[in-house]
Amino acid sequence: MTLKVSLAFAAWRGVSPLRGRPGARVRLPSSRRNGVEVVVVVGDAPLMVVDDAGTVVQWSIEAERLLDLRPEEAIGQSAARLMIRAADNAGSTLRMAGDFTVRSLSRVDGSMVWAVYQAPKPSDADERAKATARFRVLDAVREHVGSSLDVVATCRELVETLVPDFADVAVVDVVDAVVRGEEPPLGPLRRDVPLRRAAFWPKEYEQWQSHPLGDIRPLPFPSPYGQALADLKARVVSLGPDVPWLRADPVRAKSIGEAGAHTLIAAPLTVRGTVLGLLSLYRGGKTSAFDAEEAKLALELASHTAWCVENARCYVREHTIAAALQRRLLPPHLSEQTAMETAHLYTPGNQGGGAWFDTFSLSGARTALVVGEVAGRGIYAATTMGQLRTVVHTLAALDLEPDELLARLSDTAARLADERAALPPGDPLHQQALEASCVFAVYDPLALTYTFACADHPTPVIVQSGKVVDVPDVPTGPPLGSPEGSPFAATTVDVTEGSVMALFTKALLPATRPGAPGDDEAEIRDALGESDRPLQDLCDQVLYRLHEVPPAGDAVLLLARSHAFPVDRVAEWNLERDPSAAHAARDATERQLGRWGVDEEATFAANLIVSELVTNALRYGTGLLRLRLIMGRTTLTCEVHDGSAAAPRLRHAKTLDEGGRGLFLVSQIAENWGTRYVRNGKLVWTELALPSRQDP
| 588 has a pLDDT exceeding 90 | yes
| 460 has a pLDDT exceeding 80 | yes
Nearest in space to 364 (alpha carbons), one of 639, 668, 79: 639
* Domain 332-562, classified CATH 3.60.40.10, yes or no: yes
| Mean pLDDT across 243-268 | 85
**HEC readout, 176-220:** HHHHCCCCCCECCCCCCCCEEEEEEECHHHHHHCCCCCCCEECCC
Residue 74 DSSP label: H
Q: What pLDDT, on the 0 to 100 scale, is given for residue 507?
A: 85
689: amino acid identity, one letter:
A
| DSSP β-bridge partners for residue 477 | 455
DSSP H helices, 330-483, are 378-396, 402-421
Q: CB–CB of 61/40 below 8 Å?
A: no
Alpha-carbon distance 434 to 414, whole Å? 8
Q: What pLDDT, on the 0 to 100 scale, is given for residue 86?
A: 62
71: amino acid identity, one letter:
P
| Mean pLDDT across 493-504 | 91
pLDDT band at 104; cut points 50, 70, 90 = very low
| Mean pLDDT across 440-446 | 95
| 44 has a pLDDT exceeding 80 | no
Percentages of the chain per state (helix, strand, coil), in multiples of 5: 35, 25, 40
Nearest in space to 322 (alpha carbons), one of 391, 386, 390: 386
Q: Cis omega (within 30 of 0) on the bond before 566?
A: no
Residue 506 DSSP label: G
pLDDT band at 269; cut points 50, 70, 90 = very high
Classify strands 449-455 and 436-444 as parallel, antiparallel or unpaired: antiparallel
Strongest mean pLDDT among 97-111, 232-246, 327-341: 232-246
| 640 has a pLDDT exceeding 90 | yes
The larger pLDDT score, comparing residue 608 to residue 541, is at: 608
| 222 has a pLDDT exceeding 90 | no
The larger pLDDT score, comparing residue 57 to residue 2, is at: 57
| 22 has a pLDDT exceeding 50 | no
Span of 84-93, 288-297, 488-497 with lowest mean pLDDT: 84-93
Span of 347-361, 415-429, 664-678 with lowest mean pLDDT: 347-361
Span of 70-84, 380-394, 633-647 with lowest mean pLDDT: 70-84
pLDDT band at 98; cut points 50, 70, 90 = very low
CA distances from 224 to 47, 193, 201, 281, 529 (A): 46, 16, 20, 12, 64
pLDDT tens digit sequence for 51-97: 666 777 777 766 776 677 888 888 888 777 776 666 555 443 333 33
Span of 127-136, 293-302, 587-596 with lowest mean pLDDT: 127-136
| 383 has a pLDDT exceeding 90 | no
| DSSP β-bridge partners for residue 36 | 33
| CATH tag for 126-318 (out of 3.30.470.20, 3.40.50.2000, 3.40.190.10, 3.30.450.40) | 3.30.450.40
Q: Is the dihedral of CA 325, 326, 327, 329 positive or negative?
A: positive
DSSP for 627-696, written as a single string: EEEEE-SSEEEEEEEES--PPP------TT-SS--HHHHHHHHSSEEEEEEETTEEEEEEEEE-SS----
Biggest alpha carbon–alpha carbon distance for the chain? 149
Q: What pLDDT, on the 0 to 100 scale, is given for residue 21?
A: 39
Q: What pLDDT, on the 0 to 100 scale, is given for residue 515?
A: 37
| 289 has a pLDDT exceeding 50 | yes
| Mean pLDDT across 193-211 | 84
Alpha-carbon distance 205 to 403, whole Å? 65
Classify strands 2-3 and 37-41 as parallel, antiparallel or unpaired: parallel
Nearest in space to 268 (alpha carbons), one of 330, 328, 202, 186: 186
Bin 444: left if φ > 0, else alpha if -120 < ψ < 50, else beta. Answer: beta
| Mean pLDDT across 633-637 | 89
Q: CB–CB of 671/582 below 8 Å?
A: no
pLDDT band at 532; cut points 50, 70, 90 = confident
pLDDT tens digit sequence for 314-323: 988 887 877 7
In percent, the amount of the chain with pLDDT more than 90 equals: 36
| 579 has a pLDDT exceeding 90 | no
Where exactly are the structural domains of the chain?
Answer: 2-118, 126-318, 332-562, 567-689
Q: What pLDDT, on the 0 to 100 scale, is given for residue 320?
A: 80
| 574 has a pLDDT exceeding 90 | yes
pLDDT band at 450; cut points 50, 70, 90 = very high
DSSP for 123-188, written as a single string: TTHHHHHHHHHHHHHHHHHHHHTT-SS-HHHHHHHHHHHHTTTT-SEEEEEEEHHHHTTPPPPBSS
Share the mean pLDDT of the chain: 79
How many degrees, rounded to 5, is the angle at CA 532 between CA 527 and CA 537? 60
Domain spanning 567-689, CATH class = alpha beta
| Confidence (pTM) | 0.65
| 427 has a pLDDT exceeding 70 | yes
| Mean pLDDT across 661-667 | 79
CB count, 10 Å around CB of 433?
A: 11
Alpha-carbon distance 567 to 550, whole Å? 45
Span of 35-49, 290-304, 494-508, 607-621 with lowest mean pLDDT: 35-49
DSSP for 358-381, written as a single string: EEEE-GGG-EEEEEEEESS-HHHH
Span of 87-96, 130-139, 242-251, 646-655 with lowest mean pLDDT: 87-96
- In the three-class reduction of DSSP (H, G, I as helix; E, B as strand; rest coil), residue 222 is classed as coil
Burial category of 499 from C-beta neighbours within 10 Å (exposed 0-12, middle 13-18, buried 19 and up): buried
Q: What pLDDT, on the 0 to 100 scale, is given for residue 115?
A: 43
Identify the H or E element spanning 114. Answer: strand 111-118
The larger pLDDT score, comparing residue 103 to residue 308, is at: 308
pLDDT band at 248; cut points 50, 70, 90 = confident
The larger pLDDT score, comparing residue 186 to residue 430, is at: 186
| Mean pLDDT across 103-122 | 40
